[in-house]
Chains A and B, each alone.
Chain A
Amino acid sequence: MELLKVQNVEKYYGNRSSLTKAIDDISFKVDKGEFLAIMGASGSGKTTLLNCISTIDRVTAGHIFLEDQDITALKGKELNHFRREKLGFIFQDFNLLDTLTAYENIALSLTIQKWPTETIDKAIQIVAGQLGISDILSKYPFQLSGGQKQRVACARAIVTNPRLILADEPTGALDSKSSGLLLERFNFLNNEYNATIMMVTHDSFAASYASRVLFIKDGRIFTEINRGSAKRKEFFDKIIDVVTLLGGDVSDAL
C-alpha cells in the first residue's frame, strides 16, 4: 500500500544569475511499512529532499502526496497540524531540550498534540519499553550518553504513532556500537509495529539496515536497490558496490 508519493519535485536555490538545482526532478514512492534509506554525498540534495517532505522547506515545482493528501499545498496552521499528526522527526544532533527530563521531552510531542493528560504516561511507558529507556526517563539530557539521547529522541518521534518517521543522519553523532543498537531498534519498530521509516544517511552501514536504498547524485535519483531476502551483510556489500560506482566521493564515508 502506497503511503508517500514524490512526484517530479524540483527545488532551486539562488536567483536567475546563479541558479542551483538542489533537487532536479525526483519521483519515487514509499509503501506503508517500508524502511527506506536515502544515500548520497554531501551536497547531493538528500537533506533538502527530506526537508521538503517534512514541509520544513517548500518545493519549487512538483507535488508530494502523503496518504493522497498534497502536502505542498498546505499552508500556515495546516502545516503545523500535518507535522505534528503525521510525522516523527529524528535528528543527527538529537535536538532534545536540555532543560527538560527525558520523560518531559517525550511528553512534549504529545502535549503539543493536546493529548489528554491521563493517556500521556501510558503512551510514554510503552514506547520507553520498546526502546529500552524505561530506567532513564527521569534523567536530564546532559546525564545521558549519545546513544541514550538518540533513543529518547526516537521515542519522542514515534510516541505519537506517526504515519512516517523521518530520520536525518540519526547515527551521525554516534559511535558504531550505539549506531548498531539504534538501527536494531529501527528494524524492530519496522518489523514488529510496521512503522514506515525514511532515513537520510551517507553511512553504508546504517543504510544496510533498510529494506530499500535510494541513491541520489546531483539532485537526481542515481539508482535504487532492494534488499529482498538477502542477509544484511550481503546487502551491505551490494551498497558498497553502488557507492563505488557512484564515483568515490561517497566511499570516504565508509
Chain B
Amino acid sequence: MLCKLSVKNLHRSIKDYAIYFFTLVIGVSIFYIFNAIDDQTATLTIQSIDLEVLDLLSGALSAVSVFVAVVLALLIIYASRFLMKRRNKEFALYMLLGMGKGKISAILLIETFFIGLGSLAVGLVIGIGLSQLMSALVASLFAADMTEYRFSFSSASMVRTVIYFSIMYIVVMLFNGAFVTKMKLIDLIQSEKRSEEIKVKNPLLSCIIFLVAALGLAWAYRKVTGSFNGLNQRTIILCIVIGAVCTFLVFLSLSGLLLRIVMSFKKAYFRGLNSFTFRQISSKVNTMIFSMTVICLMLFVTVCTLSSAFSVRNTINQTVNTLCPVDVQIGINEYEGDFKPTYVDIEKIYAEYGYDITEKFKDHVFVDVYLDPSFNFGEFFGPYQQEVRKQFQFLRFDSPEQIMILSDYNALMELFGRATYTLEDDEFMLVANYINMIPLRNMVLSGGCTENIFGHELKSKYDHCIDGFLDLNLNATCSGIFVIPDSVADKDSRVSNYLFGNYDAATKAQTKAMDSEMSDIHQKVYECYYRDLYTERKGQNMPTFYEGFTSRIELYSNGMGISAIITFLGLYIGIVFLIASGAILALKSLTECVDSVQRYDMLRKLGADEGELNRSLFLQTGLFFLFPLAVAAVHSVFGMKFAISLLETAGTTNTLQSLILTCIILLAIYGGYFIITYFSSKNIIKNRI
C-alpha cells in the first residue's frame, strides 16, 4: 500500500520531479565520465605521456570527485527539501487521517529509493555512452592516436559512482527522516495559507546597502587587478570573502532597487503585464537571495576555471613549437655554496667517461654563459630599483646578470631558426621574453643606457629588449641575457656550458628512442662525475647539482599531461557547478510557476493574450536566469584580468579563444536549463480550456 502510494505520488508530481530527476541523471553521468577517464587513458595507446602524469591525473580526479560529491549532495538535499516543502498539505492530510510519522518516512524512503535507483541506472547508461565521446577528447588531449578504437567501460568508475551516489541518497533519506520527525501538524496545515513574505523594503536603506556593496567590490576588484605581485595569500582570501559578502549585499539590495527603478518609469511600468512581470521577479529574487549569491559565485568560478584551463592547454601546443625549437639541451649545472656556479665543460666531461656527446646529433651547437660578479640586477636598474621592487618583491638585486657572447648567440639562433644580429665593439644588446620583466628592462634601455661589463663601457644597440631566450622551456621566462661582442668577454668568467642539438633521426619513433638513450647516457655521465667529485672531496662541502638534461619530448609530454589534467579538472568542476546553478534556478522557477497557475488564469479572464502571457513568462524566467549571470559576468571581467596576469607569468597569452569556448559551454548547459525551464513553465500555465 505504502509502495503504491509512493509510486502514485511520483507519478502525480512528475512535473516537479522531472527537472530534479534530470539533474540527478546528469550528475551521475558526469561523475561516471570523469572517473572513467583514468581507465580510458590506460587503454589508449598513448606514447607521449608518462605514468607519473597518469597517476597524478587519477589522484587529482579522485580528490576532486570528493569535492564534486559534496557539491552534488548539497544540491540534492536542497532540491529534495525544496520539493518536500511543497507537499506540506499532503503530509498534513496523511497525519489527519492518522498515519504515523514512521509511515510517512517510509513513503519518502521508498520515493527516494525509486528516484535514486532510476537516476543511477539512467545516468550510468548515458554516462557510459558519453564516455565514448570522452575517449576521443582524451585522445586528442594526450595526442594519442585513435586508430584502433575500443569500446571502453570502467567498472572501477561505475563502482565508485554507485557508492558515492548511494551515500548521497542515504544522506538525503536521513535528512528527510529528520524533517518528518520534526514537523508539526499545525505548521503543516498553516503552511497552506501562503505566507505573504513581501518585505516592503526601505529604498534609502537599499541604496545604502547597494553603495556599500559596490564600494566593497570596487576595492576587491582594484586589489586583484592592480600589480598582483603586491598580493599575498591573506589579501587574496580577504578579497574573496569581501567579494562573496558584497555579492550577497548586491542581491539583497538590487531586487528592491531594480523594482523601484522600473516603477519610476511609470510609462513602462504601467504597460501591458509589465507591473505583474516585475513584481513576480522581484518577489522570486527576494525569497532566494542566498541561493542567488551561491549561484552567482559558482558561475564566476566556472568562467574563470574553464577559461584558464583552456588557455593553459592552448598555450602548451603553441609554445612547444616556439620555445623548444630543438630536440635537446644538455649541460651540468654545478653551484658552490651560496649559488656560485662552477664551469663544467660538458663535451670534456662526456669524453672523460668514454662518450662522444656529438655522436647522435645531426646538428649541434655549444654555447657558454658568462657572469660578471660586479654587474648585477641592482647595477643595471640603478635608480629604477624602487619601480622594480614594486613588481618583484623577491628579486635579489645582488644576483649577477647572465651574459653571452655574440658568436655563441648567433650560432644558437641559427640552430633555432631565428634571426641573427651584429654588434659594434662598444655595443651590447639585451635578450628577454618574460612579459612582466620586459617593460621594466625597456624603461632603462629607452634612456640610452651604458653599462660597464667586464671593464668595458658598452652602450645598448637597441632602445628595447630583443625577443629571445636560451633555455628550452615551456614558458617564456627569460628575464634577460646580455649579448656582448666576443672581444669583450673574459674566458675565465664562463659559468655554464650547454649543448643544443637535433638528433640524427628520420622518424618520431627514432627521435624518441635516441632521446631516451641520450638521457640514460647523461644520467651515467652525471653519476660518474658526481661520484668522482665525491671521492676527491671525501664527501665534504659537496656542491649542488642540477642535472641539466632538457628534451623537447619530455617537456612536451609533461606539458601535455599537466594541461590535460588542468583541462579535465576545469571541465569537471565547471560542468558540475553549471548544472547545480541551472538546477536550482529551474526548480525554483518551475515550482513558482505551478503556484502561479491561477494568477495566469486570472490574467486570462482579464483578457490578456496568450502571447502576452508567454512574453511575461519568458521575461520572468529570462531575467531570473540572467540576474546571477550578469553579476557573475562583472565579477569574471575582473577575475579574468587577475587570472590572465597570473597566466601571463606562466607564458599564456591566448585567452580570447578560451573565453569563447567557455561561453559556449556555459550557454549550452546554463542556457539549456533556461530553455527547458521556459518551455516547461509555458506548458504548466497553458490554457486548459
Contacts and interface: CB of A to CB of B under 8 A. Distances in A.
Tell me whether A and B are bound partners: yes
Interface of A: 54, 56-58, 76-77, 80-85, 87, 89, 91, 95, 97-100, 104, 107-114, 117, 120, 140-142, 156
Given A58-B689, A100-B276, A142-B196, A107 B607 contact: no
B279 interface: yes
Nearest to B612: A112
Interface in B585-620: 598-599, 602-610, 612
Contacts of B267: 117
Contacts, number: 85
Given A100-B275, A104-B279, A108-B276, A113 B196 contact: no
A112 B599 contact: no
Contacts of A104: 275, 279
B513 to A, nearest CB: 74
A54 B605 contact: yes
Given A104-B279, A114-B271, A120-B270, A56 B605 contact: yes
B376 interface: no
A112 B280 contact: no
Given A80-B608, A95-B598, A104-B279, 19 more contacts: A56-B605, A80-B607, A80-B609, A82-B607, A83-B605, A83-B607, A95-B602, A99-B279, A99-B282, A100-B275, A112-B272, A112-B612, A113-B607, A114-B272, A117-B266, A117-B267, A117-B270, A117-B271, A156-B606
A97 B276 CA distance: 8
A82 B609 CA distance: 11
B608 A84 contact: yes
11 contacts: A80-B608, A89-B606, A99-B279, A100-B276, A104-B275, A109-B607, A111-B273, A112-B272, A112-B607, A117-B270, A140-B200
Contacts of A156: 606
B198 interface: yes
B222 to A, nearest CB: 38
Given A112-B273, A117-B267, A117-B270, A97 B605 contact: no
Given A85-B607, A89-B605, A111 B279 contact: no
Given A58-B689, A140-B196, A100 B279 contact: yes
A111 B605 contact: no
B592 to A, nearest CB: 11
A97 B606 contact: no
The number of chain B residues touching the other chain, given as a range, is 20 to 34
Q: What 8 A-B pairs come out closest when comparing CB atoms?
A: A84-B607, A142-B196, A83-B607, A99-B279, A95-B602, A117-B267, A99-B283, A104-B275
A81 B53 CA distance: 69
B88 interface: no
A156 B599 CA distance: 15
Nearest to A140: B198
Contact of A112 (B282, B283, B608, B610): B608
Contact of B606 (A98, A108, A141): A108
Interface in B138-167: none
Contacts of A91: 602
Interface in B267-308: 267, 270-276, 279-280, 282-283
